[in-house]
Amino acid sequence: MARKQSTRRTVAITILAWFIGLLMFFPILWTAVAAFKSESDAYTLPQNMLSTPWTLENFGIVQERSDYFRYVFNTVIIAVLSTLLGLLFAVPAAWSMAFAPRTTPSSTISGWGWLAIVFSCGLIAAGVLYANGWHPQNAVVGFLLLLLCIVPPTAWVWTRATTDTLLWMLSTKMMPPAGALIAIYLMFNRNGLIFKDWGWINLSEYNLIDSFWGMVPLAMLLNLPIIIWMLYTYFKEIPVEILEAARMDGASLWNEIVRVLTPMALPGIASTCLLNLILAWNEAFWSLNLTNKYAAPLSFFISEYSSPEGQFWAKLSAASLMAIVPILIVGWFSQKQLVRGLTFGAVK
């Protein structure tokens, strides 16, 4: 009796799981089906899903109208290069967060106390400059610049452990990009006067907008905190004794990271790369606003089809499908890494 009930329960749960799965997958499925229908048939979906003929013409038209493979190429370049660039910065940082021995405080004032002292000194300096007749802009910008030069070494010297500092910094990823990265946009902008003329190189002659030189570092900056965070969670699983053994055997820092740590953390690094590729692939806001032709990735390609005038559902669906298929496939074959990546290392 009990056995029968549990079988019934299993069946019910399985059916429910499939139902929820279908519900979640339905919009994607709808896109996929509409992509294979003619324009007029697409409007009658989803009732006539099976009775209307299937066609491949949408893909041909989309490829003809806007060169799909060029956008794929751009997306891959931006995603791959930004991932590699990000790893370059992230691996040492994550190493230092995960394996740095926590030292005793080097003084009775904590790191943040020292930061506060430095900050108020800077503030006083700016006030003095202002009182001495400096233009407020010069006084304030001067103060900020000084702060930027003086705080990092001070923080670096005085904080007890790097982990706390870095975690504080990583929390900036949670801030709205609207606030944090606008300055970068203005720097990219040819009209932005920041850093325009550096004497020997005049940046207004070079446009970072719509170029890989602009998009790759930007994509790297957008995802760097997440890469570091992910790598940190992976590195923490590696027993520190192994690295200590390498150190005892006389391995240098370089060898310790490159020859010992990296091979051991390779699955983690691969999973991080996958996450970063997906995030860079999906990135929409900056690519829509900072590219228009030469370095435009797939997000831009989609937006070309969702123009308000004339609704081409079938072609839009075909374009969308072409843009998401790589992610769907890659995600399918690396389910574990996808789940762990998208939950920022929380789910193993």
Q: How many residues bind other proteins (CB under 8 A)?
A: 124
DSSP-assigned letters across all residues of 78-100: HHHHHHHHHHHHHHHHHHHHHHP
Give dist(CA 82, CA 88) in Å, integer: 10
Amino acid at 6: S
Q: Which of 302, 346, 290, 272 is nearest to 89 (CA)?
A: 272
Site for other proteins in 186-205 (CB under 8 A): 186, 191-200
Among positions 2, 4, 69, 176, the unique one binding other proteins when judged by CB under 8 A: 176
CB of 240 to other proteins, least distance (A): 12
Among positions 54, 156, 206, 213, the unique one binding other proteins when judged by CB under 8 A: 156
Q: Which residue has the tokens 């000084």?
A: 146
Per CB under 8 A, does 123 bind other proteins?
no
Choice between 171 and 292, CB closer to other proteins: 171
Per CB under 8 A, does 310 bind other proteins?
no
Q: Which of 326, 204, 233 is nearest to 274 (CA)?
A: 326
Contact 35, 317 (CB under 8 A): yes
What x-and-dash track marks residues 288-307 binding other proteins by CB under 8 A? xx---------x--xx--x-
Site for other proteins in 99-118 (CB under 8 A): 99-101, 103, 106-107
Per CB under 8 A, does 158 bind other proteins?
yes
| 46 prior amide bond cis, ω within 30 | yes
Contact 306, 288 (CB under 8 A): no
Site for other proteins in 252-271 (CB under 8 A): 252-253, 257
What x-and-dash track marks residues 6-25 binding other proteins by CB under 8 A? ----x--xx-xx--xx--xx
Per CB under 8 A, does 90 bind other proteins?
yes
CB of 210 to other proteins, least distance (A): 15
Q: Long-range contacts for 28-32 (Cβ within 8 Å, ≥24 apart)?
A: 28/324, 28/328, 30/317, 31/317, 31/320, 31/321, 31/324, 32/317, 32/321
Site for other proteins in 56-85 (CB under 8 A): none
CB of 151 to other proteins, least distance (A): 7
CB of 226 to other proteins, least distance (A): 12
